[in-house]
A = this chain, B = another copy of it.
């Protein structure tokens, strides 16, 4: 269908923050049903956002729930001191998030690293899992010998459909049914609408993982409804749709004309004409030769992904285990 076919060239983002920005830019004002709070600490911008009701959800196209976003443009410079600080802030925010969601301090936790380990841009989840401190087996095999300050944590990377032949959600469901965690944390690579947010942004959400979100085209979700326990999603944008770059480009050109032109009238008419469906048609045309809508990623994706996976793993270890803090978390992530 024509309508749906073009829809896929619309600007797509997995970040609630960007969805809100887009919704606002159209409205020139505040959105109802959305609460946000932003603080900046030494190069790290933290936005705590809440989609309070269906009105808010509809306005920005994201689910009712809590979202925390860390934006750290400086991560591009691969400064290890900043990386340590981000891990610390992430740990603090994640711990507070767990509390707000009502997860108890010793909730048995299953960490799920979604994505394809053979595709660097999609390997965030598996990389985090590789670096998390797992302890569940110690609680099972020698409960008397586990030092205080730890909780039972297990971690799996279920792979993707093309590798296993099984939906990742089915694998997680099967494992959860067998091991009965109280909390599931799912890590996934996301798509952003802004190249500058790629590999520099972390989103925490209590909404779980939904079909079609992330960059791996899931067909089934991982949600509290399905799994029966809270599912907290941690995501990092690692790619941008090529269509989004083209969309951005068209918008910036329009802006450019608006600014540069005295005799703006006829031009602005033109530019309004290319809003909506016609713009999508134009995007489609630009992308035609590639055959499909490419997901693009900065060339240096390999090292950025590894850095941010380490940040998240360190932060999770510190947030989940009282006995782990930022001074010794390095000992657990290798």
Chain A contact residues, CB within 8 Å of chain B = 73, 76, 80-81, 118-122, 130, 134-137, 141, 152-156, 159, 161-167, 170-171, 173-179, 194-196, 215, 219, 239, 242, 245-246, 248-250, 252-253, 256-257, 261, 263, 266-267, 270, 274, 282, 285-286, 289-291, 294-303, 306, 330-331, 334
Question: B80–A330 contact, CB under 8 A?
Answer: yes
User: What are the 5 closest A-B residue pairs judged by CB atoms, nearest first?
Assistant: A174-B174, A136-B165, A134-B165, A154-B165, A174-B178
| Bound Cα distance from A162 to B79, whole angstroms | 16
* Chain B residues within an 8 Å CB radius of A155: 163-165
Q: Supply 12 further A-B pairs (C-beta < 8 A) apart from A119-B300, A134-B163, A249-B286.
A: A76-B291, A120-B120, A134-B165, A136-B166, A152-B165, A174-B174, A174-B175, A215-B299, A248-B286, A263-B266, A267-B270, A303-B334
Question: A177–B179 contact, CB under 8 A?
Answer: no
| Bound Cα distance from A264 to B174, whole angstroms | 62
Give the residue of B130, B177, B179 whose beta carbon is less than 8 angstroms from that of A178.
Answer: B177
A interface: dominant SS? helix
Question: B156–A159 contact, CB under 8 A?
Answer: yes
Question: B249–A81 contact, CB under 8 A?
Answer: no
Question: B242–A245 contact, CB under 8 A?
Answer: yes
| Bound Cα distance from A166 to B334, whole angstroms | 20
Least CB separation from A215: chain B residue: B299
Question: A120–B175 contact, CB under 8 A?
Answer: no
Closest approach, in angstroms, between the C-beta of A8 and any C-beta of chain B?
16
| Bound Cα distance from A159 to B175, whole angstroms | 13
Question: B166–A179 contact, CB under 8 A?
Answer: yes
Query: Can you list 15 A-B contacts (CB < 8 A)?
Result: A130-B163, A134-B164, A155-B165, A156-B159, A170-B175, A171-B174, A175-B175, A177-B178, A195-B289, A248-B286, A249-B249, A252-B285, A266-B266, A294-B299, A303-B334
